[in-house]
Amino acid sequence: MSVEAFDAVDVIAAKRDGRTLSREQIEWVIDAYTRGVVADEQMAALAMAIFINDMEPREIADWTQAMIASGERMDFSALSRPTSDKHSTGGVGDKITLPLAPLVAVFDVAVPQLSGRGLGHTGGTLDKLESIPGWQAGLSNEAILDQLEDLGAVICAAGSGLAPADKKLYALRDTTSTVDCIPLIASSIMSKKIAEGTQGLVLDVKVGSGAFMKDLPKAQKLARTMVDLGQSAGVKTSALLTDMSTPLGLTVGNALEVRESVEVLAGGGPSDVVDLTVALAEEMLRLAGKTDIDVRSALADGRAMDVWKKMIRAQNGDPEAALPVAENTEVITAPASGVLSRLDALSVGVASWRLGAGRARKEDPVQDVAGIELHAKPGDTVAEGQPLMTLHTATPERFARAIESLEGAVEIGGDLSAVSETIVLEKIT
């Protein structure tokens, strides 16, 4: 039996007491946790100590590199075009990946969008796409490369070999109230994205009630931390801080969001979804060395839609098939007349989750049809009794708890100064 280089108890105690962990301690604890030598309860204690006492930039960089080293790294250097990717920190109604990947591919930049599933009130890209009849999330590394070369875009599940330490730690953080921790968020996101092998990465860091980062200073700190991690690892990285005080677009939920994404690809869709898709595409293309390109035109003239249809078919989906529709709906109406001044993203996200669009645990199923359709956004004038939103679910017994979570979510006639006029708040490079 081999002798371990450190004792988990000593590493935990060091961080509990506010000391800086050495690179060797960090490399050992991540490797030992992946091997099962460090137990879940010990890693939970260490995560809480990090949550309370923070980490220095060097510690975060070492932690990230150790998680990358726990698994394989992908290599896209054989592709005939540059690669650029996007990662969102998660929000309500955030379907941007769906129109964004084919849009960027139009301009001969490959988009390897290895995506995840939703947990809690934030939706997952794979859950949305699986509402398309036949669509498959799982692809081999060889199939990913082939699709990127042929079509320029792929949205699929990340393989189990990428940063396996992060997969274990992510599940643990979710059950130990250590999710909202900048060192752990930054290292989790960036270990997977650096291991993925993309040359450029744009981070969509959400700010507001529906995001993990509720206020701008924390979002700025997270964005700066991740940009620095990417740059130091040789990945061209930038971040857009974007508004998540109100749901993005007019739909929240899986099939509902796919429908809205297709509207965007057809040259329509809500202006906030279009604006953010275009802003992220322009930044991804800039990192790939392509500037002064009319990105919006590729949505308007159908080129992005053409790539979308090929991308869906390549993964056994039918882009022409009708999307599933909920059998049960309930309408929420405006309690008064006036200007809608607030529509809280978190409340809407939780309501959609309770309707069946999200999951409480990783293994829970989701409903394709569940979610919320919005009929007004902050700044719109509404009349008393006018529909504000329609709730969708396959299980009508869920309506009561969903409606409960919407109490206080809507304000009419309040202060309009908080209504954001732009979706992109700041850019960090």
Task: Please write the tens of the pLDDT for every residue from 247-301.
Answer: 999 999 999 999 999 999 999 999 999 999 999 999 999 999 999 999 999 999 9
Q: What is the structure's pLDDT at 160?
A: 76
- The secondary structure of 15-72 as a DSSP string is HHTTPPPPHHHHHHHHHHHHHTSS-HHHHHHHHHHHHHH---HHHHHHHHHHHHHTS-
Residue type at position 361: R
Residue found by looking up tokens 């919320």 in the block? 372
Domains in the chain, CATH or no CATH each: 8-69 (1.20.970.10), 84-160+174-320 (3.40.1030.10), 328-412 (3.90.1170.30)
Which pTM was predicted?
0.94
Yes or no: say if 15 and 21 are a contact pair by the CB < 8 Å rule.
yes
How far apart CA 358 and CA 337 sit, in angstroms, is 32
Q: How far is CA 241 from the centre of its chain?
A: 13
Q: What is the structure's pLDDT at 94?
A: 95
The pLDDT tens digits of the residues spanning 202-243 come to: 999 999 999 888 999 999 999 999 999 999 999 999 999 999
Q: Are strands 236-243 and 200-207 parallel, antiparallel or unpaired?
A: parallel
Interhelix angle for 57-69 vs 182-196, to 10°? 40
Q: How many CB atoms lie within 10 A of CB 86?
A: 24
Q: What is the structure's pLDDT at 150?
A: 97
Radius of gyration of the chain, Cα coordinates, nearest whole angstrom: 22
194: left (phi over 0), alpha (psi -120 to 50) or beta: alpha
How far apart CA 32 and CA 246 sit, in angstroms, is 42
Residue type at position 275: D
Of the candidates 86, 173, 193, 392, the residue annotated as catalytic is 173
Q: How far is CA 354 from the centre of its chain?
A: 19
- The secondary structure of 193-249 as a DSSP string is HHHHT-SEEEEEEEESTTSS--SHHHHHHHHHHHHHHHHHTT-EEEEEEEE-SS-ST
Contacts for 385 with CB less than 8 Å, ≥ 6 apart: 333, 334
Residue found by looking up tokens 């924390």 in the block? 218
344 is catalytic: no
Residue 177 backbone phi and psi in degrees, to 5: 60, 40
Contacts for 150 with CB less than 8 Å, ≥ 6 apart: 314
Of the candidates 188, 191, 347, 405, the residue annotated as catalytic is 188
Residue type at position 55: M
Of the candidates 85, 127, 166, 204, the residue annotated as catalytic is 166
Low-confidence ranges of the chain (pLDDT < 50): none
Yes or no: say if 164 and 71 are a contact pair by the CB < 8 Å rule.
yes
Of the candidates 192, 236, 342, 392, the residue annotated as catalytic is 192
How far apart CA 365 and CA 308 sit, in angstroms, is 26
Q: How many CB atoms lie within 10 A of CB 429?
A: 12
87 is catalytic: yes
354 is catalytic: no
